[in-house]
């Protein structure tokens, strides 16, 4: 991690240039999510079982759940529209749910991968948290969403995140004041979209989550239903990006996507997925190893960095502590 830039953005006022660019990208007419759009962004749930070897058989789901002490993926979270249940691994803390932090972990465009389960383990062990690992694709008969800009994108994922928070609150007594949404790549996009200050989203999210954590998120936002607006945000959000990221680079995006966040940390020398669990959640990752994504549209580099992962996790801990301290 030879070059790390920390960009602390407390201001909620975008620059004139950013505002003009956003208006031009949106054609002057951004489309906001409305209740009448929900049906389109809730593709039917068609499966109640997770694949044993996801993503074209590249890994064993059992090795990344049962083997490491995480619950199996089960059809248990009622979808936003009430039609079917999303698959999820619910991991209440061994000493009880009440009074503890809870994290909802949402995946990227490859669907759930070992990195998501490794993240869940870290959150449970280092943060003493309850953790829900949430699926959006397997339940709907898909393994990935590499095409990105479709009904399986940020609006669908935001509705899934809202559904998960409601279930945790109502069925398990999780306190919204200690509930956090954590996502990487398209999951990071999900975080930014979920907290975006639009009337419908605001009405659903207000008082439901304490804050969001977005890792190397998709950030293109032209105001269309497929590339919806991102920000300003209704709750604190921390964003992490990489300067060598060719999957979700920051350059094509309006800077306000990041500057409107509570905190933005940019690792100038990092690729996408610096926290990848490249040997599975059950085995320590190999530091410095680089691989290629399976995405058929973009075989972007993914390079593990133990140092950057540790720095990011330390900052996440500080961020969560600051949210909870401010609420006391």
Q: What is the pLDDT of residues 205-228, one digit of tens each?
A: 999 999 999 999 999 999 999 999
Q: What is the pLDDT of residue 9?
A: 39
**Helix or strand run (H / E) with residue 162:** helix 154-172
| 303-316 residue pLDDT tens | 999 999 999 999 99
For residue 307, give the 3-state DSSP assignment: helix
Residue 295 tokens, joined: 């995405």
Q: What is the pTM assigned to this prediction?
A: 0.92
**Segments forming the whole domain that contains residue 149:** 4-327
Residue 289 neighbours by CB under 8 Å, 6+ apart: 278, 303, 304
User: Three-state DSSP class for 228?
Assistant: coil
Burial 279-313 (b: 16+ CB within 10 A, else e): ebbbeebeeeeeeebebeeeebebbbbeebbebbb
Whole-number percent of the chain with pLDDT over 70: 91
Distances (CA, A) of 77 to 83, 124, 170, 220: 11, 20, 11, 29
Q: Which two structure tokens, joined as six digits, stand for 68?
A: 């490491």
317 CB-side CA count, 13 A:
14
Q: Look at the chain and report how many structural domains it folds into.
A: 1
CA end-to-end span of the chain: 35
The 10 Å Cβ neighbour count of residue 40 is 12
d(CA 263, CA 250): 15
Mean pLDDT along residues 30-53: 96
According to the model, what pLDDT value does residue 13 have? 30
CA angle (119, 267, 101) in 5-degree steps: 30
Q: CB of 240 within 8 A of CB of 5?
A: no
pLDDT at residue 6 in the model: 52
CATH code of 255's domain: 3.40.50.1820
Q: Rounded CA gap, 180 and 83, in Å?
A: 25
Phi-psi region of 82 (alpha: psi -120 to 50; beta: other; left: phi over 0): left
Q: Are strands 237-242 and 263-267 parallel, antiparallel or unpaired?
A: parallel
**Distance (Å, rounded) from C-alpha 267 to C-alpha 256?**
18
Structure tokens at 82: 């009430």
Give the Å distances, CA to CA, from 3 to 6, 65, 82, 205, 273: 10, 35, 47, 36, 17
Over residues 68-124, the pLDDT tens digits come to 999 999 999 999 999 999 999 999 999 999 999 999 999 999 999 999 999 999 999
Average pLDDT, the chain: 92
pLDDT tens, position by position, 7-35: 443 333 333 334 334 433 333 457 899 99
Q: What 3-state class would DSSP assign to 178?
A: helix
């Amino acid at each position: 991690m030879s070059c790390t830039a920390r960009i602390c953005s407390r201001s909620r006022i975008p620059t004139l240039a950013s505002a003009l660019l956003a208006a031009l990208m949106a054609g002057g007419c951004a489309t906001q999510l409305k209740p009448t759009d929900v049906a389109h962004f809730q593709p039917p749930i068609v499966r109640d079982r997770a694949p044993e070897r996801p993503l074209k058989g590249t890994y064993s789901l059992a090795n990344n759940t049962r083997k490491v002490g995480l619950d199996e993926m089960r059809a248990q979270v009622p979808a936003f529209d009430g039609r079917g249940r999303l698959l999820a691994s619910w991991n209440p803390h061994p000493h009880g749910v009440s009074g503890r932090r809870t994290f909802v972990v949402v995946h990227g465009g490859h669907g759930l991968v070992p990195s998501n389960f490794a993240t869940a383990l870290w959150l449970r062990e280092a943060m003493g948290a309850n953790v829900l690992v949430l699926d959006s694709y397997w339940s709907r008969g898909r393994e990935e969403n590499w095409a990105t800009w479709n009904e399986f994108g940020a609006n669908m994922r935001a509705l899934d995140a809202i559904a998960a928070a409601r279930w945790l609150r109502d069925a398990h007594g999780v306190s919204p004041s200690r509930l956090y949404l954590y996502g990487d790549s398209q999951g990071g996009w999900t975080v930014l979209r979920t907290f975006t200050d639009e009337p419908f989203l605001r009405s659903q999210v207000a008082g439901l989550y304490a804050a969001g954590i977005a890792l190397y998120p998709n950030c293109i936002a032209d105001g269309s239903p497929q590339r919806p607006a991102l920000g300003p945000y209704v709750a604190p959000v921390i964003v992490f990006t990489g300067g060598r990221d060719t999957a979700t680079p920051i350059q094509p995006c309006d800077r306000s996507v990041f500057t409107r966040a509570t905190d933005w940390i940019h690792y100038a020398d990092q690729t996408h997925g610096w926290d990848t669990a490249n040997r599975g959640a059950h085995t320590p990752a190999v530091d410095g190893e680089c691989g290629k994504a399976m995405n058929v549209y973009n075989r972007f580099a993914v390079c593990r960095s133990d140092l950057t992962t540790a720095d990011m996790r330390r900052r996440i801990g500080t961020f969560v502590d600051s949210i909870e301290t401010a609420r006391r």
